Chain A
Amino acid sequence: MVTEKDVQHIAELADVGVSAGELENFTHQFNAILEYFDTLDRVEGQGAAARDLYNILREDEVEPSLPQEEVLRNAPAQEDGFIKAPRVM
């Protein structure tokens, strides 16, 4: 069982926000879905081992890439050719 407090906590972890009006509904739906997920308790065995393709890497060489103005074109906030983000500290 997850509680409204749990859902609130998950919403904060995921940065998706949840309004007071949504909380009851989300909690109710989560419990129904998680109860359905309990069928996984009956699963035996282990996940797959790597097959076919494994660690696809390339040489660390510079390849053609987008010009700076193209990269910045969709960014809503910019300063001196950089993308501006909210403060982290």
Chain B
Amino acid sequence: MPAQTITFEPDDKYNAFLTVCNKPAHTRGKLAGITVAVKDNISTQGIETTCASKILKGYVPPYDAHVVGLLKQAGAATAGKTNMDEFGMGTTTENSAFGPTLNPCDTGRVPGGSSGGSAAAVAAGMVKMALGTDTGGSIRCPAAFCGIVGLKPTYGRVSRYGLIAYANSLEQIGPMGKTVSDVSTLMGVIAGYDCHDSTSQNKPYDHTPLADIKGLKIGIPEEYFGKGVDPQVATVVQKAIGRLVELGASTVPCSIPSMEYALAAYYVTCTCEASSNLARFDGVRYGPAADTKKSWHDAYQEVRSAAFGTEVRRRIMLGTFALSSGYYGKYYSKAQAARENVRKDFQRIFQEVDVIAGPTMPTIAFRLKEKSDPLSMYLADILTVPANLAGIPAISVPCGKSEGMPVGLQIMGRHFEDERVVDVAYAYEQAVN
């Protein structure tokens, strides 16, 4: 079957793309001729893949990530590689080595992160769909901030083969789009078993969204409407949940006590995993050349201090510290116990309810450079990290505006019930549009 090409020349005013493919090829299939943007931490054969880091500038992967192969099989045209926080480390896309992405809804604000380029490309109508990755909210946050739909699948449902790893035990590749149907269609293409990912589960996704939610029980955790959550955002989300009740759902108040330490557990886990994963970037197999005449410590340090951004170095150091002798018990081991408690809290709540709903983000999109202190930036992830710690599916769907900016409604579900969170988001979307 001969491949066809299409012309893709977006007016990228938002710095959403790091690489644009002007004449992408495509074949026939479910996504025939549809332009799909791919986050720049997902390997694309023959197309530069940088993770928005200077340390991978010029790196051209010799193979495709499993999901990219699936996109090609489905006939999609890879439109380009999207901007992100360097290695996925951030909540704004300001941590890109190649400049921030701007929010198409207000160019004075961030698009969220770390999949900010993918979200902006979809929100601005440059592409129909995009792939993002979500380690602690990196699909849902930018979806919420840019007013689009983003799904973090159940851990293990989408292969991570070819995803340049940051925190393996937390991250998943997932679909982003303007509508729930688009997200569902893309999920159907990328989900399924892959022998190259040892955490891959044989759970393909073959689903058409259904808007019927009569009798659905929705858990409303008090922590999602408490301290740190902007009251205006909370009001918009409560109204959206009211809409779901009008459609025949009922709400059940609940509590996730482990939220008290979930964010700390998340940051300990992801920085520890990052410190190990990012050890491979040393200027030997790829990246800027290490000076082979120097001793290896000096050579690596020279390359890494020059080519890694500040946030990446900060997280590598935090992880190195937390795993160092004498601190393992205090940090990593406690974080894993905390993670198990998060999982148990969800398990308990899901015995009584079908899904859990709340805001995706505690605020609307920040202004550029608003979050200059790392800890205050980390705190913005409080509502998204629990789903990653527990490995459950979670979707963000636009549910109104606050101060003229989009607000996201987050729906979380049981393991491997991605279809159900999609249906609830679809029911809401159909009711308001």
Interface residues of A (CB under 8 A from B): 2, 6-7, 10-19, 22, 26, 29-30, 32-34, 36-37, 39-48, 52-53, 56, 58, 66, 70-71, 73-77, 83-88
Contacts and interface: CB of A to CB of B under 8 A. Distances in A.
B62 interface: yes
Contacts of A18: 305, 313, 317
B359 to A, nearest CB: 22
Contacts of A30: 317-318, 321
A53 B198 contact: yes
Highest count of chain A CB atoms <10 Å: which of B60, B308, B320, B330: B320
A12 B295 CA distance: 14
Contacts of A84: 284, 292
A21 B10 CA distance: 41
Contact of A16 (B301, B335, B343): B301
Given A10-B324, A85-B284, A40 B265 contact: yes
Given A15-B304, A85-B296, 10 more contacts: A2-B321, A7-B317, A14-B320, A15-B300, A16-B317, A33-B318, A44-B341, A45-B337, A45-B340, A76-B290
Contacts of A33: 267, 318, 374-375, 378
Contacts of B300: 15, 86
Interface of B: 58-60, 62-63, 156, 195, 198-199, 201, 260-261, 264-265, 267-268, 275, 279, 282-302, 304-305, 308, 310, 313-314, 316-318, 320-322, 324, 330-331, 333-341, 343, 373-375, 378
Contacts of A45: 337, 340-341
A36 B375 CA distance: 8
B261 A74 contact: no
A10 B62 contact: no
Contacts of A7: 317
B324 A85 contact: no
A56 B210 CA distance: 36
B338 A40 contact: yes
Contact of A43 (B261, B292, B316, B317): B261
Nearest to B296: A86
A29 B304 contact: no
Contact of B320 (A13, A71, A87): A13
B69 to A, nearest CB: 14
Contacts of B291: 86
B340 A47 contact: yes
Contact of A10 (B198, B320, B333, B374): B320
A16 B304 contact: yes
Contacts of A17: 301-302, 304-305, 313
Contacts of A88: 296
16 contacts: A14-B275, A15-B300, A16-B317, A17-B301, A17-B305, A17-B313, A32-B375, A37-B267, A40-B265, A40-B334, A43-B337, A76-B286, A76-B289, A77-B292, A85-B296, A86-B293
B128 to A, nearest CB: 31
B337 A46 contact: yes
A32 B264 CA distance: 12
Contact of A83 (B285, B310, B318, B320): B285
